[in-house]
Amino acid sequence: MAQLKPSYPLAESDAGDALTSSGRRVTEITLAAVVRGEIGPGDIRISPDVLRQQADFAEEGGNPQLADNLRRGAELVAFSDEDLLELYESLRPGRSSALELEQLADRLEAGGAALCAALVREARGAYVRRGLAV
């Protein structure tokens, strides 16, 4: 059978195929499975592939910035809630030195988050120039 090109909305066109970040099919997330305790938080987390697909839809729809955001989101799926809260905190004004921001970017890059790392490096430059980080 020919591979169908995914179309928007995914819930209507592609329901059986969407996978969650744990690799489960969305259609397996049933009420019975939840009641039996078979579904964990990882099963209800969107997968990077789905986010990249949505990014493509956004790009085709004429919004490259939204697409970038969704691609950065795809990179961040693997990070834990605690990690994300901490990373966000580090980017707030006056929280991190230029060096710490560079290390943050390295950590993101090492975690497969190249776009996010670029965002942080861009921030680092601006923060230093505007006196928010030394």
Residues that bind another protein (CB under 8 A): 8-12, 15, 18, 20, 26, 29, 31, 34-35, 37, 39-41, 44-47, 50-51, 53-54, 57-58, 61-70, 72-77, 79, 81, 84-85, 87-89, 91-93, 116, 119-120, 122-123, 126-127, 129-130, 132
Least distance (Å) from another protein to the CB of residue 5? 15
We find the least distance from the C-beta atom of residue 103 to another protein, in angstroms, to be: 16
d(CA 67, CA 55): 4
Q: What is the dihedral of CA 53, 54, 56, 60, to 10 degrees?
A: 140
Identify which of residues 85 and 99 has a Cβ nearer to another protein in the complex. Answer: 85
CB of 119 to another protein, least distance (A): 6
Phi, psi of 22 (to 5 degrees): -85, -5
Q: How many residues appear in the chain? A: 134
Rounded distance between C-alpha atoms, residue 49 and residue 70, angstroms: 11
Nearer to another protein, 63 or 97 (CB): 63
Closest CB to another protein among residues 1, 31: 31
C-alpha to C-alpha distances, 96 to 107, 113, 131, nearest whole angstrom: 14, 19, 12
Smallest gap from Cβ 71 to another protein, in A, equals 9
Distance of CA 53 to the CA centre of its chain: 12
Residue type, 3: Q
